[in-house]
Amino acid sequence: MLKIKKHIAEKLYANFAAVAPATGELTADDFASFLEYPPDDNFGDLAFPCFKLSKAMRMAPPMIAAKLAEGLEDDVIAKVDVVGGYLNIFISASYLAGVLMPEIMEKGEAYGSFDFGKGKNVVLDYSSPNVAKPFHIGHLGTTVIGHSLKMLHEFCGYNCIGVNHLGDWGTQFGKLIVAYRKWGSREQIEDVGIDELVALYVKFHEEAEKDEALNDAARAEFTKLEQHDEENTALWKWFIEISLKEYSRTYKQLGIEFDSYNGESFYSDKMPAVVKELKDKNLMTIDDGASIINLEAYNMPPCLILKRDGSTLYPTRDIAAALYRKKTYDFDKNIYVTSAGQSLHFAQWFKVVELMGYDWSDKLIHVPYGTVSINGSKLATRTGNVILLKDLFAESIEKVSAIMEEKNAALENKAEVAEAVGVGAIIFHYLMNSRIKDINFILEDALNFDGNTGPYAQYTYARTCSIIEKAGGVPTITPDASMVTAHSEAALLKTLSIFPEKVLAALDELEPSVITRYILDVCTAFNRFYHECQIVTADNMTTRDFRVALTSCVRSVLGKAFELICMKKTEKI
Ligand code: ARG
């Protein structure tokens, strides 16, 4: 609708400028932004609220409406109704079938893309789990929101660098080394993987409650690690390797790859320069032995740079990483996706970068999201324990397998499909809410094949594939207005026309839920068309070909939209 909006806005603006005593500050672009989607298509496909011009035109809205409506109808605008202070505008079938549809057919999955990001780099820091600590459902948000934002930026032409800023440095490694030497076994860790590391870490904390000396021992081991002690370095590398093996399984299920795994340890040798720079720029003060940056003037608690023992902290490492990324990638945006609990941390060190005099500090963007709790799953009974993402995925996949066994036992590659649908269900359900909202996740709801869910969307996608297969492929046709014979066909085309706008909105608001909800709109419009119209079985060949081609447009848009929210698609369910 972007092009149509622009077209309508220009015509409305010309009418306005011809009669308004003064145009004031208003432009044709403002007119485009005033256009609304009416709740019901009896009120047109787009509506223009004329009261917005009352001041500039010094007329009552119905009068304005009458003036603006003059000579509006053309190839694109089929009809304009003046209703009260509104102009209700109807888009022509000749535009929908003759212009929009050929565009979608030609572009396929590139329909809806933009190129304004060309030549610009965007760094996205997401997922970033802490090594040897559980990868739990709290990480679902950063992982799927982060990846979705990456896909959206790429779709708009940006060159994206996905960074998994692993939490792979800090005193926890001293603890793990002590725990491993005291209670661990190499075989057990090789066998069980990360869960065994987590268990050792937990045991360390239990024991340290009773024996304070363990903490000293852990600090000493970490110091040795910092000094590149050979044995400790080998252990540390191994812990990371074990953890990554596990993460990569989850990333594979999600279809995610990172361009860099430079985590916190990567910056350990880059910290002294940052500390020196902060000192040289007179930003640091000493408080009770620790080095801090006072942010009182900005209504924030101080940003901690060095502990009393001189060791660096989380913000120090983030500042070092930002400087490094600027130098390495010269980013246009550097995006961090984390829980809202870290908002203060980011606000603080973003301010520090600004105080350091870097004019690019406004290119640092924090994207926060709300908390997730889980209900209605056997996992939830483990209260007190964290729920691991892999367990949630496994339970979902298992349930989908059972449903599929009932519905379509003959399906080939069942395991693969069950994984795509099971994992997709979780992603979809999660990304349906605006990211900042806290959500209570109910697995049964996410898996409802008849509800507004991932499985429903995937089922719809599979339906488009099977129609095209039955039809023997996508016919080559040149669609025109005469082929649009059912209301649901036009309605479906209008829904497809909104895709580019949704892409822009999602990118602007850094909000994947815009796409998720749009997927549901497309599914609803398509399924209405499917139930109302005969497609492959239509008597008239022209009608049949037109409808199959329309189905292929839906397949392209859904396929791309799935990719944008990192949900896999399956041609058969
Ligand atoms: N490892 C951190 C955590 O799990 C998230 C890191 C986010 N990225 C960053 N550059 N601080 O909470």
What CATH number has the domain bearing residue 548? 1.10.730.10
Closest ligand 1 atom to 314 CA: 11
Nearest-angstrom CA–CA distance, 358 and 458: 46
The residue whose CB lies within 8 Å of the most ligand 1 atoms, and thus the one to mutate among 161, 168, 342, is 342
| Residue-wise pLDDT tens digits, 355-375 | 999 999 999 999 999 998 887
What is the Å distance from ligand 1's center to 125 Cα? 8
Looking at the structure of the chain, the number of domains it has is 3
Q: What is the mean pLDDT of the chain?
A: 94
| Residue-wise pLDDT tens digits, 525-550 | 999 999 999 999 999 999 999 999 99
318: Cβ below 6 Å to ligand 1? yes
Expressed as residue numbers, the domain containing 126 is 121-270+313-383
From 383, 399, 423, the end of a domain falls on 383
From 383, 403, 422, the end of a domain falls on 383
DSSP annotation of 368: E
Q: Considering only CA atoms, which residue is closest to atom 11 of ligand 1?
A: 318
pLDDT score recorded for residue 557: 98
The residue whose CB lies within 8 Å of the most ligand 1 atoms, and thus the one to mutate among 165, 349, 367, 371, is 165
Answer yes or no: do 222 and 371 share one domain: yes
Answer yes or no: do 257 and 349 share one domain: yes
What CATH number has the domain bearing residue 59? 3.30.1360.70
Answer yes or no: do 428 and 377 share one domain: no
Closest ligand 1 atom to 337 CA: 7
Contact 168, 175 (CB under 8 A): no
What is the Å distance from ligand 1's center to 146 Cα? 12
Expressed in angstroms, the distance from the first to the final Cα of the chain is 32
What CA dihedral angle connects 311, 317, 318 and 322, to 10 degrees?
140
167: Cβ below 6 Å to ligand 1? yes
Would you list the DSSP string of 256-287? ---SB---GGGGGGGHHHHHHHHHHTT-EEEE
pTM of the shown model: 0.94
Answer yes or no: do 337 and 486 share one domain: no
Closest ligand 1 atom to 264 CA: 10
Answer yes or no: do 376 and 394 share one domain: no
Answer yes or no: do 401 and 418 share one domain: yes
Closest ligand 1 atom to 345 CA: 11
Answer yes or no: do 158 and 78 share one domain: no
From 358, 383, 408, the end of a domain falls on 383
Answer yes or no: do 395 and 372 share one domain: no
Q: Which long-range contacts (CB under 8 A, 24 or more apart) does 547-552 make?
A: 547/489, 548/467, 548/468, 548/471, 548/474, 548/475, 549/101, 549/105, 549/474, 549/475, 549/477, 549/479, 550/101, 550/489, 550/492, 550/493, 551/464, 551/467, 551/468, 551/526, 552/105, 552/464, 552/468, 552/474
Which helix (H) or strand (E) segment is 124 a member of? strand 121-125
pLDDT score recorded for residue 377: 62
Residue 282 within a domain: no
165: Cβ below 6 Å to ligand 1? yes
pLDDT score recorded for residue 382: 45
Residue 35 within a domain: yes
What is the Å distance from ligand 1's center to 567 Cα? 24
Answer yes or no: do 371 and 492 share one domain: no
Answer yes or no: do 375 and 417 share one domain: no
pLDDT score recorded for residue 7: 95
| Residue-wise pLDDT tens digits, 259-293 | 999 999 999 899 999 999 999 999 999 999 999 99
Closest ligand 1 atom to 129 CA: 4
Residue 408, φ and ψ in degrees, nearest 5:
-150, 70
DSSP annotation of 512: T
Question: Which residues of the chain fall below pLDDT 70?
Answer: 21-22, 376-385
Answer yes or no: do 240 and 358 share one domain: yes
What CATH number has the domain bearing residue 196? 3.40.50.620
